[in-house]
Structure 1
Amino acid sequence: MVRIFALLFSLAAITVTPAYAEGVEKAYVDNNRPLITGSAYRYNGPAIQRIEYDSIARFGPFRVLDTHRVALLDITDERSPGQFVAMMQAFPDLRVLEMIECPGTFDDRANLRLGRLIRAAGLRTHVPREGSVRSGAVELFFAGVTHKIEVGAEFAVHAWQDDDGREATAYAATSPEHLKYLAYYEEMGFGAREAQAFYAMTNSVPHEQALWLNAQEMQRWIRPTDTPQLAYLDLGALLQ
């Protein structure tokens, strides 16, 4: 199953083009209904290049920034759980996952395994001011033992699509395909009703579209046991 919302840009393109404009036609929640959607890419080329340059190791979509922080910069896939395990073995003192440019996943099953690994490792998730967490990457955000969202961060959700092109709404409500997501959300701290409500919201939007949430809107879904923070920081602070 696929849950990805990447649209216009890839990290490979960043090495060719020096900078990108902010995403266009972006829209946020209005009474829980999806509005016009567009590009989610907001980091410019030099900023990403600096993260690449300053990182001390790379494991698939992960860039180790120092002994305590790792950044997620790309799409996850079936290899990502193994890459995460290798990274934690090499850098056992990592404590924070910086979610910077996170379009989603090519493999939902592997993505849920990755989320459980993040939780088991005790990492905190942090979305900086210009961070973009979309599609399947939202599951990884919830995997943190605590969550920090800076004002200006953005999130996007939409329905998953299976390998045959069928979307979540094509499956019966009690199907295993749905239940595995609900079980995951509950493992991450959602109550049963909260899990149902959040999952229903994600599937209210077709796979080819997206429902955008800003920092304050996403904070409403963070489990009550968390003490998330909203802060104003810039990319420079992340890279120091």
Structure 2
Amino acid sequence: MTVTEEWIDESDPRFHESEPVDQYVEGDGYDYAAPRIAYPTADRAISSFRASAPTALAAYGPFRVVDPTRAVLVGTTTSATPAQFAALLRAYPQLRTLDLVEAPGTENDRANLAVGRMIRAAGLTTRVPRGGSVRSGAVELFLAGARREVEDGARFAVHSWRDNRGREADDFPTGAPEHRYYLDYYREMGMSTDGAREFYAMTNEAPHARARWLDAREMRGWMARTLRNAANDNEAAGDAPRIAYLDVTGATQ
């Protein structure tokens, strides 16, 4: 089956170009064509983006299994996602790679980080192909990979988290447990103490309502910096995931 997910994303700069963006890459197995439907508002247009996964063997929440060793993420994670991902791993124990194709984020941070830890425990490679969009909480899933692969043309969006009372990261003092929750996760994913703090601070410089966009080169730079630091951190020694710098022709299937 072929499964299509749609959602509204107001911040993605692809929807504010003067011309439609055709992101289909011949022969890569994904349909990135993005028909844009604009709805005028008081201050900007809101557009929908359609992501089509390749023909799937099975679907587990936002995950689509394309062969026994590879799955793709094409939707938002929720409180149900850890159980869905656990079922996927049981059904496909040979899974090796998770492609983040259109990953808008999460509705439940705790569940999302639980999935990240499952990705890490399974030793999966996380891969963002050309045209892939990894936003908000989905960045944490990318960071979970034992090996991380980023193709030219991939994009990432980061911003401050916001709790159910509307408070954001800057509303809490340094050292608050709310910060430690994320910093501990980054450390588990192989960042040094300083690297985790630096990356976390960068994400929170953008308020929740307005994301900061990073291209493939910028994300590679952040990963190289934090992992290089981790190599000199005794606590993180031997626990740093590997980064692969990919172009389209060098993609690992």
Normalising by structure 1, report the TM-score: 0.79
SS in 2 for 1:228: strand
Q: Are the equivalent residues in 1 in contact too, given 2:76–2:107 (CA < 8 A)?
A: yes
Alignment of 1:1-240 (within 5 A): 11-12=5-6, 23-25=14-16, 43-44=32-33, 48-49=51-52, 51=54, 54-222=55-223, 223-224=227-228, 225=240, 226-233=242-249
CA–CA separation in structure 1 for the residues paired with 2:62 and 2:196: 27
For residues 6-55 of structure 1, the C-alpha deviation after alignment (integer angstroms, 9 at most, x for no partner) is xxxx92469xxxxxxx82347xxxxxxxxxxxxx996336984452xx11
Q: Which protein has the larger Cα radius of gyration, Structure 1 or Structure 2?
A: 2
Q: Are the equivalent residues in 2 in contact too, given 1:129–1:234 (CA < 8 A)?
A: no
CA–CA separation in structure 2 for the residues paired with 1:90 and 1:154: 30
For residues 189-236 of structure 1, the C-alpha deviation after alignment (integer angstroms, 9 at most, x for no partner) is 00000000000000001101011110010011222452412212599x
CA 1:48–1:97 in structure 2 vs 1: closer, same or farther (change >3 Å)? same
Aligned partner of 2:43 in structure 1 is: none
Q: Which is strand-richer, 1 or 2?
A: 2
CA–CA separation in structure 1 for the residues paired with 2:34 and 2:151: 21
Aligned residues: 206
Q: Are the equivalent residues in 2 in contact too, given 1:129–1:233 (CA < 8 A)?
A: no
For residues 39-91 of structure 1, the C-alpha deviation after alignment (integer angstroms, 9 at most, x for no partner) is x996336984452xx11000000000100000000000111111100000001
Q: Are the equivalent residues in 1 in contact too, given 2:120–2:144 (CA < 8 A)?
A: yes
Cα offset, 1:141, TM superposition? 0.3
Q: Are the equivalent residues in 2 in contact too, given 1:128–1:233 (CA < 8 A)?
A: no
SS in 1 for 2:127: strand
CA 1:41–1:82 in structure 2 vs 1: closer, same or farther (change >3 Å)? farther
Between 1 and 2, higher relative CO (CA 8 Å, sep ≥ 6) is seen in: 1
CA–CA separation in structure 1 for the residues paired with 2:164 and 2:108: 10
CA 1:142–1:25 in structure 2 vs 1: closer, same or farther (change >3 Å)? same
Stretches of structure 1 that go unaligned for 5 or more consecutive residues are: 1-9, 15-21, 27-39
Q: Are the equivalent residues in 2 in contact too, given 1:156–1:212 (CA < 8 A)?
A: yes
CA–CA separation in structure 2 for the residues paired with 1:13 and 1:168: 26
CA 1:132–1:59 in structure 2 vs 1: closer, same or farther (change >3 Å)? same
Query: Which of structure 1's runs of 4+ aligned residues deviate more than 3 A?
Result: 45-50
CA–CA separation in structure 1 for the residues paired with 2:102 and 2:70: 15
SS in 2 for 1:24: helix
Q: CA RMSD in A?
A: 2.6
CA–CA separation in structure 2 for the residues paired with 1:109 and 1:41: 35
CA–CA separation in structure 2 for the residues paired with 1:181 and 1:96: 24
